[in-house]
């Protein structure tokens, strides 16, 4: 068992009920795309909006995120639509900028979790704040590295913590973009029973057709919530186009999900 000093994640005025839903585009592209997608996310009934501002791309030359100029767009979503907003941070500068712009939730991406130097830098930058932090699994199937990142951030005083399962890289091509290896988040739950675990079916699947079945499996395994990429026009997205759905499609998927007695 791993001992973390955890506190329930609560956002002002929002009681998180299972399954918590976090929805929004892979990347913030333009102010208009962010705002229109956020309006649709709100209309679909979701309360927490995600958008990547700094994008960790595997190869150079792809769209690497709009950077700090996108943070006021998220602030506008928060102020004008009343949604909670979250984004990915990968270094201390990102943490300071995100907090300065009133971002409600931060997450650490899979490539960053794999790097203890980066995680420690983020943890140090978080000291003195109480912002909820979600930690994605590292790209490689290394549970200790995932737990280590959670411990570093917890030791910096962040008690509102959750894990995000987004699958693991494999060299062999499978039906998944990132293999779910469900036994790893299941073992994380056994080691840290009080830690909420969210599933990211978008990055596991790599294709929108699989989002429903992966989400249902996550619920059957007693996950606490879902983080799903949703875009006003998925096929035109500047990153991860094939795995995004519209907010309306996500609403239909979420209505299809059955919450039944967990398998474990
Ligand atoms: C993302 O959430 O858009 C992202 C880059 O995810 P991951 O870190 O899981 O690859
Ligand atoms: Mn993405």
Question: What is the CATH classification number for the domain harbouring 160?
Answer: 3.20.20.70
- For residue 261, report the distance from its CA to the centre of ligand 2, in Å: 30
241 inside domain? yes
Which residues, other chains included, contact 190 with Cβ-Cβ below 8 Å and sequence gap of 6+?
Answer: none
Predicted pLDDT at 30: 98
User: pLDDT (tens digit, 9 = 90+) per residue, 127-151?
Assistant: 999 999 999 999 999 999 999 999 9
104 inside domain? yes
Predicted pLDDT at 15: 93
Low-confidence ranges of the chain (pLDDT < 70): none
93 inside domain? yes
Mutational test site, ligand 1, from 22, 56, 59, max ligand atoms within 8 Å of CB: 56
Domains: count for the chain: 1
75 inside domain? yes
61 inside domain? yes
High-pLDDT (> 90) share of the chain, %:
98
12 inside domain? no
Predicted pLDDT at 264: 81
Gyration radius of the chain's alpha carbons: 17
DSSP string, 83-103: -EEEEEE-SHHHHHHHHHTT-
Which ligand 1 atom lies nearest to the CA of residue 55?
5
- Among all bound ligands, the one having the nearest atom to the CA of 165 is 1
Distance CA 258, CA 133 (A): 27
Predicted pLDDT at 236: 98
What is the domain extent for residue 200? Answer: 20-256
The response to whether residue 166 sits with its C-beta less than 6 Å from ligand 1 reads: yes
User: pLDDT (tens digit, 9 = 90+) per residue, 154-178?
Assistant: 999 999 999 999 999 999 989 999 9
261 inside domain? no
The complex scores an ipTM of: 0.99
Predicted pLDDT at 202: 98
Which residues, other chains included, contact 166 with Cβ-Cβ below 8 Å and sequence gap of 6+?
Answer: 110, 136, 137, 178, 200, 203, 204
Distance CA 246, CA 229 (A): 8
């Amino acid at each position: 068992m791993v001992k973390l000093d955890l506190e329930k994640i609560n956002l002002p005025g929002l009681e998180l009920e299972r399954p918590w839903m976090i929805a929004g585009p892979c990347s913030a592209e333009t102010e208009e795309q962010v705002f229109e997608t956020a309006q649709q996310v709100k209309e679909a009934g979701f309360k927490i909006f995600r958008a990547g501002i700094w994008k960790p791309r595997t190869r150079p030359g792809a769209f690497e995120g709009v950077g700090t100029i996108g943070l006021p767009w998220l602030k506008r979503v928060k102020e004008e639509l009343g949604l909670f907003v979250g984004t990915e941070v990968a270094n201390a500068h990102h943490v300071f900028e995100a907090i300065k712009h009133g971002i409600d939730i931060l997450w650490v991406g899979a490539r960053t979790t794999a790097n203890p130097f980066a995680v420690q830098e983020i943890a140090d930058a978080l000291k003195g704040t109480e912002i909820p932090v979600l930690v994605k699994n590292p790209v490689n199937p290394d549970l200790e590295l995932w737990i280590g990142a959670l411990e570093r951030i917890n030791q910096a005083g962040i008690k509102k913590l959750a894990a995000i399962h987004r699958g693991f890289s494999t060299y062999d091509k499978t039906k998944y973009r990132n293999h779910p290896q469900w036994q790893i988040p299941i073992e994380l739950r056994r080691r840290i029973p009080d830690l909420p675990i969210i599933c990211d079916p978008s990055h596991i699947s790599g294709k929108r057709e699989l989002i429903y079945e992966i989400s249902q499996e996550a619920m059957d395994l007693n996950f606490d919530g879902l983080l799903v990429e949703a875009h006003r026009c998925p096929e035109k997205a500047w990153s991860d186009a094939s795995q995004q759905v519209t907010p309306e499609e996500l609403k239909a998927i979420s209505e299809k999900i059955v919450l039944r007695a967990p398998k474990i």
